[in-house]
Amino acid sequence: MKVGVIGVGHVGLVTAASMADLGHEVVGMDDDATKVATLNRGEIPFYEEELAELVTATMTSGLLRITGDAAEAVAGADVVFICVGTPAREDGSPNLSYVQAAAAAVAAHATGPVVVVEKSTVPVRTGERLRHALNLESQARGGGVHHEVVSNPEFTKEGTAVADTLRPDRIVVGADSDRAHEIMRALYQPLLDRYHCPYVATDVRTAELIKHASNAFLATKISFINAVARICEITGADVQTVADAMGHDPRIGRAFLNAGPGYGGSCFPKDVQAFIHIAAELGYDFGILRETDRTNREARQWPVTQVRRLLWNLDGKQVAVLGVAFKAGTDDIRDSVALEVIDGLRAEGAHVRLHDPVALDHVRARYPDANFCDKAEEALNGAHAVIVCTEWDEYRAITPERLAELLEYPIVVDARNIWPHAGLTGAGLTVASVGSPLVQVPGA
């Protein structure tokens, strides 16, 4: 098929390259001229595992093209994916202006009926508004073209987005006509044949709700285990053992039960707020999600609270922060807990030493007076404390004994539980790990 993708950011570029990998002829379009030029030079504007290889292969084959011209992406297309941002407004509601602009581009440049696919995360009933906007634009231009609107939410995780797209656990498609379902099923047929994953065929409204419900539930699991972690810290229990035992129950599962400094990134914070707002507009008070959000905000304060407790006075102290990306496997710093930690440290006069394998360039302008370190050990050497904010594997490789050698004060705030608690304490370190009792070296 001929496929257009409007917006080639974290979701759109993975979608475009994956569709091309399945054999479709794909044109990705973005109005960011710098991003388009970067991609056409063979460079990827952000880090995502496996993506550079996939984009290079599909562009080299000619199945993927990148342009800044909406007409080139839309004209002649059978399917157009809308993969633009839906940022949160101050009240938590999603800003859908970019979605509306994308719909206008489809109506302006389509040369025939198009299946317009919501890939962006949008509130329930957006499909109806999108269909109305398409019809209005089409009528205004004197055309009688009827476009189908489909909801096809993505369920990818940054850091594994390519694998999640090409080896999916399910494909959800919401459409209100048999024709649209036939086209979408044909689009994904190579994946359905290869992996026999479920094709969940439903209506547009249900598919839109599936996406928000999925993200909100995962965020709730994270907040739940972080609340349990507070109880463990008070009582001396171990949250990781609690989570492991819970995870053996197939009704619960172990995924997303890792206690830590809360959730961040471009999806969970925004989507939880959006779902709360959507429910309120419909007359329902989604109290569980409001508590999920409150618990998450509390969890994000945990790292600075712990280092303040252990160092007492942060003014003038050197604090190593390992990781600035919101999670491992990506350079995305949007709503990263690390930024909140760094801001909190600097507000109290601490000097920060920052390390991240891929994301440092994104924070240099924000923290011009920070010490940016090429190696993790450089950040640790002589620091009065270390806070682990991102669970990169290279940090796990640093032994507790090496930490004790490098740090000026033996203080470790392990907000990701990447090191065995017993190993840290056995090396004589004062340790604050999420969901474990504080162990302090005498005299430290």
Q: Across all residues in the chain, what is the average pLDDT?
A: 94
Helix extents (H) in 22-122: 33-40, 51-61, 70-74, 97-109
Q: Is residue 296 part of a domain?
A: yes
Q: Which of 183, 202, 221 is the last residue of a domain?
A: 202
- Tell me: do 187 and 275 sit in the same domain: no
- Tell me: do 159 and 30 sit in the same domain: yes
Looking at residue 196, what is its pLDDT? 84
Of residues 83, 232, 267, 373, which has the active-site annotation? 267
pTM tops 0.85: yes
Q: Which of 202, 227, 261 is the last residue of a domain?
A: 202
What CATH number has the domain bearing residue 48? 3.40.50.720
- Tell me: do 270 and 405 sit in the same domain: yes
Position of tokens 């839309």? 74
- Tell me: do 94 and 188 sit in the same domain: yes
Looking at residue 255, what is its pLDDT? 96
Q: Which stretch of DSSP H or E encloses residue 229?
A: helix 204-235
174-216 pLDDT, tens digit each:
999 999 999 999 999 999 998 888 999 999 999 999 999 999 9
Q: Is residue 231 part of a domain?
A: no
Residue 413 in contact with residue 432, Cβ under 8 Å?
Answer: yes
333-352 pLDDT, tens digit each:
999 999 999 999 999 999 99
Q: Is residue 232 part of a domain?
A: no
Looking at residue 88, what is its pLDDT? 86
Looking at residue 438, what is its pLDDT? 81
Long-range contact list for 426-432, CB < 8 A, 24+ apart? 426/400, 427/399, 427/400, 427/401, 427/403, 428/404, 429/400, 429/403, 429/404, 430/310, 432/306, 432/307, 432/309, 432/310
- pLDDT grade, residue 140 (50/70/90)? confident
Residue 169 in contact with residue 210, Cβ under 8 Å?
Answer: no
Q: Is residue 12 pLDDT above 60, yes or no?
A: yes
- pLDDT grade, residue 120 (50/70/90)? confident
Q: What angle do CA 149, 154, 159 make, to 5 degrees?
A: 155
Angle between helix 97-109 and helix 126-140 axes, rounded to 10 deg: 40
The structural domain count of the chain equals 2
Which residues is 172 bridged to in the sheet?
A: 200
Q: Is residue 444 part of a domain?
A: no
- Tell me: do 181 and 244 sit in the same domain: no
Edge-to-edge strand list for the sheet holding 148-151: 64-67, 25-29, 2-6, 79-82, 115-118, 148-151, 171-174, 199-202
Angle between helix 204-235 and helix 126-140 axes, rounded to 10 deg: 140
Looking at residue 298, what is its pLDDT? 97
Q: Is residue 439 part of a domain?
A: no
Looking at residue 328, what is its pLDDT? 94
Q: Is residue 43 part of a domain?
A: yes
DSSP secondary structure letter of residue 360: G
- Tell me: do 190 and 274 sit in the same domain: no
Q: Which of 152, 178, 202 is the last residue of a domain?
A: 202
- Whole-angstrom distance, CA of residue 193 vs CA of residue 181: 16
Q: Is residue 144 pLDDT above 70, yes or no?
A: no
Q: Is residue 253 part of a domain?
A: yes
Q: Is residue 369 part of a domain?
A: yes
Q: Give percent of the chain above pLDDT 90.
A: 86
- Tell me: do 162 and 296 sit in the same domain: no
- pLDDT grade, residue 2 (50/70/90)? very high
Buried residues in 229-243 as b, exposed as e (16+ CB within 10 A): bbebbeeeebbbebb
- Tell me: do 39 and 137 sit in the same domain: yes
- pLDDT grade, residue 441 (50/70/90)? low
DSSP secondary structure letter of residue 282: T
Q: Is residue 34 pLDDT above 70, yes or no?
A: yes
Looking at residue 143, what is its pLDDT? 65
Known active-site residue 267: yes
- Whole-angstrom distance, CA of residue 408 vs CA of residue 397: 20
Q: How far is CA 108 from CA 105, 156, 299, 348, in A?
A: 5, 30, 47, 53
Domain that holds residue 68: 2-202
Instruction: Write out the two tokens for 93.
Output: 């509601």
Q: Is residue 404 pLDDT above 90, yes or no?
A: yes
For 132, residues 6+ apart whose C-beta sits below 8 A from its C-beta are none
- Tell me: do 78 and 145 sit in the same domain: yes
- Tell me: do 185 and 326 sit in the same domain: no
Buried residues in 46-61 as b, exposed as e (16+ CB within 10 A): bbbebbeebbeebbee
Q: Is residue 443 pLDDT above 60, yes or no?
A: no
- Tell me: do 270 and 341 sit in the same domain: yes
- pLDDT grade, residue 444 (50/70/90)? low
Region label for 139, one of left (φ > 0), alpha (ψ between -120 and 50) or beta (otherwise): alpha
Mean pLDDT of 104-117: 92
Residue 138 in contact with residue 144, Cβ under 8 Å?
Answer: yes
Mean pLDDT of 91-104: 90
- Tell me: do 250 and 130 sit in the same domain: no
207-252 pLDDT, tens digit each:
999 999 999 999 999 999 999 999 999 999 999 999 999 999 999 9
